[in-house]
Chain A
Amino acid sequence: MNTTKVGIPRALFYYQYYPIWKTFFEELGVEIVLSDHTTKSIMDDGSKTCIDEACLPIKIFHGHVMSIKDKVDYLFIPRFTSVSKKEYVCPKFGGLPDMVRHTLKDLPPVIDTEVNLRKSGKNALKAAYEVGGFFTKDRNKIKRAYKKALESYREFREKVKKGVLPCDILDKKLRKVKKYDVPNLNIAVIGHGYNLYDRYANMNLLDKLIDMGATIITVDMVDGETIKKHVKVLPKRLFWNFGRKAVGSSLHFLERDDIDGIIYLMAFGCGIDAFISDLIERKIRRNKDIPFIVLNLDEHSGEAGMDTRLEAFIDMIRWRYGNEGNVSAYG
């Protein structure tokens, strides 16, 4: 018997939740068809099809859908309204299945189950029942699959919190610990997971930094309690899950004395980045003299320009330490 094939675009929340989805579908005996890593043609297809005004990550998502839609029985595009209490993701995540459906033609059925944990985390199981319902009537089986999926997610999160990059876990990539003849730097990189871990979209930003002798610390590696503690200083609660985590982590980075520089990676056209990067920049500039840059990704970003800025940034940090004569952070 042929198994049912579910298509998952390797974009947006793939970088955050794939371990859940993978285990869940596999436990239900469903075959996953994952789109390839982003390529030029995926990005171009997405940009050509999507409305101009959409942000880069949404365009890339459309490109991924196009690359697998004809090979699968279902497309998995859940409607992520909220992944956390009293918080939202982004209006575009809430409308994603509708955007895709009305932009692309000849789609297989779309599994567009709403995930809305704004009021209660229990709604996650409800969503799981709905998704599982496409493949089996056995609710116990779905529940078991969901429990296992959560287990996989927990393992994934543990590794990330220990400092392993999510993209390395997802790609099963083992990094050799290289020896550098310069001292190691700790660089915090802030941004949406789908910008940080999509190597094509960000022109290999993380690998480049690592090659320059940096250890990368991302928002995903900061634990929830630490973030919670730090965002308390905000006069008004941030209602975007990413925004709250990003601001909380940044404040935490500012407090640590082993962080040598902070990079904010933002996507062109992202409404949330526009606010969050600005807020973070203000907090950083007000509180501490730490090297900080904002890098902007869009379809037309030139790799050379970004490389130059990165190198200048790292050089500047090293130069500072050279001048001060106190190299603080040996890896």
Chain B
Amino acid sequence: MKVTFPHMGNTYIVAKALLDDAGVDYIIPPYNNKRALEIGTKIAPEMACLPLKINLGNYIQAYEKGADTILTTGGRGPCRFGYYCEMSREILNDNGFNMDVITLEVPQDGFTELLKRIRKVAGSLNAFKILKIIKNTTIVAKRVDELERLTYKIRPREIRKGSTDKIYNEFQKKVRDVKGSSQILKLVEVTKSRLLRLEIDKDYKPLRVGIVGEIYTTIDPFSNFYIESILGNMGIEVDRTNTVSGWIIEHMLKAIVPFKKDIRYKEAAKPYLGTMIGGHAQETVGNTVLYAKGGYDGVVQIYPLTCMPEIVAESILPAIERDYNIPILTLIIDEMTGEAGYLTRIEAFVDLLKRRRERAEIEQNFALSGN
């Protein structure tokens, strides 16, 4: 058995830690790329959401390299993600790719079935060992997220443009060659100190932009054309609440070990979207409010075309834009999205934010001068 799994930003690092520690034979699909998307687009339903299309491309590219078993997570709705596993199974099957799909979720048959599935992949590991692996994997997820967050701060402040990207890209290349959670954690530490040693402009006050939206397209740089890096290199500090560790806890670990989740966004969303409707709509709405309250200069919402929960969120965002006087840009992604037009929209948005800040500064000076 050779296992593979779908990409989503840095998830592969966490999956790698998990599978290395468990001693499972696996293949990481080639990092998200144009061809993966093309393959997926060809065999997925036309109106399927983008992540499913890229996932399918990942599976087939991994199959070409010898993978025969797909490891993925599930869900119980209401969003389509919960049925990705079944769709993939059917589509791959009809297209002649003989792959087994194992879904790590608590299925309707309960825990025993989940354990059975884990054993199928991990062999005869005992429960104690499994728990230890899960614990270490969670730590990896958190550290990798922290590293990413550090780049958000350094990038806009770096003196030599491009130095953050360079170090971060090197990290992503090297991480494929190290083995297991402990080595990965070491590499994270090394990268972190390299980033911290970069020369930065300490007095620079960057504009701040919050990124919200559907989880895959916000987390995965290939899908969002590396928006965090684009904004950072334009001198903007970004923040993003959707994270790989958050996702892993939500989708896989919550059922096994208790976790406390930060649910401030729920309170914040209440006046606009009263309930959980699936996907990350409530997070999108709530975090937009939190960013506005936290003094951010703007918010960017990203989601794949036809994404149901984010469409609901998008129709609510203008109200927050009005109530809090904060500019919001919505970027919708599908396989037809052209990079040039996309960049133009981001640049225009950043210009708008810059002008707003200048105006605010002028007004402030005016007020201070006492006239």
Contacts and interface: CB of A to CB of B under 8 A. Distances in A.
Interface stretch (B170-178, B227-235, B314-322): B314-322
Contact of B306 (A95, A236, A271, A279): A271
Interface string A86-102: 11111110110011001
A237 B272 CA distance: 32
Contacts of B273: 95, 98
A278 B80 contact: no
A270 B315 contact: no
Given A236-B107, A275-B83, A277-B45, A91 B305 contact: no
B78 A274 contact: no
Contacts of A94: 78, 275-278, 312
A286 B94 CA distance: 9
A236 B277 contact: no
A282 B312 contact: no
B231 to A, nearest CB: 23
B48 interface: yes
B187 interface: no
Contacts of B332: 53
Interface string A13-37: 0000000000000000000000000
Contacts of B45: 274-275, 277-278
Contacts of B309: 91, 95
Contact of B308 (A92, A98, A114, A238): A92
Contacts, number: 123
Nearest to A281: B45
Interface string B83-96: 10111011100100
A235 to B, nearest CB: 7
Of B281, B306, B311, the most chain A CB neighbours within 10 A belong to B311
B307 interface: yes
Contact of A235 (B49, B82, B89, B319): B89
B279 interface: yes
A240 interface: yes
Given A87-B77, A88-B78, A98 B306 contact: no
Given A81-B275, A91-B278, A275 B48 contact: yes
Contacts of B139: none
Given A90-B308, A91-B281, A271-B306, A103 B274 contact: no
A270 B47 CA distance: 8
Interface residues of B, number: 46
Contacts of A270: 47
Given A87-B77, A91-B279, A273-B47, A282 B315 contact: no
A285 to B, nearest CB: 8
A269 interface: yes
Contacts of B94: 282, 286
Given A90-B78, A98-B316, A240-B78, A114 B275 contact: yes
A54 interface: yes
B179 interface: no
Interface in B180-219: none
A90 B309 CA distance: 9
Contacts of A177: none
Interface string A68-99: 00000000000101000011111110110011
A1 interface: no
Contact of B77 (A103, A240, A282): A240
Contacts of B47: 269-271, 273-274
Interface string A230-244: 000011111110000
B74 A51 contact: no
Contacts of B83: 236, 238-239, 275
A128 interface: no
A98 B77 contact: no
Contacts of A103: 315
A298 B315 CA distance: 20
Given A271-B49, A282-B90, A236 B74 contact: yes
B86 A99 contact: no
B305 A53 contact: yes
B78 A269 contact: no
Interface of B: 45-49, 74, 76-80, 82-83, 85-87, 89-91, 94, 103, 107-108, 272-279, 281, 305-309, 311-316, 318-319, 332
List of 5 A-B pairs having minimum Cβ-Cβ separation, nearest first: A239-B77, A88-B78, A94-B277, A95-B312, A274-B47
7 contacts: A53-B305, A88-B78, A91-B308, A102-B315, A270-B47, A274-B47, A275-B83
Interface of A: 50-51, 53-55, 79, 81, 86-92, 94-95, 98-99, 102-103, 112, 114, 234-240, 269-275, 277-279, 282, 286
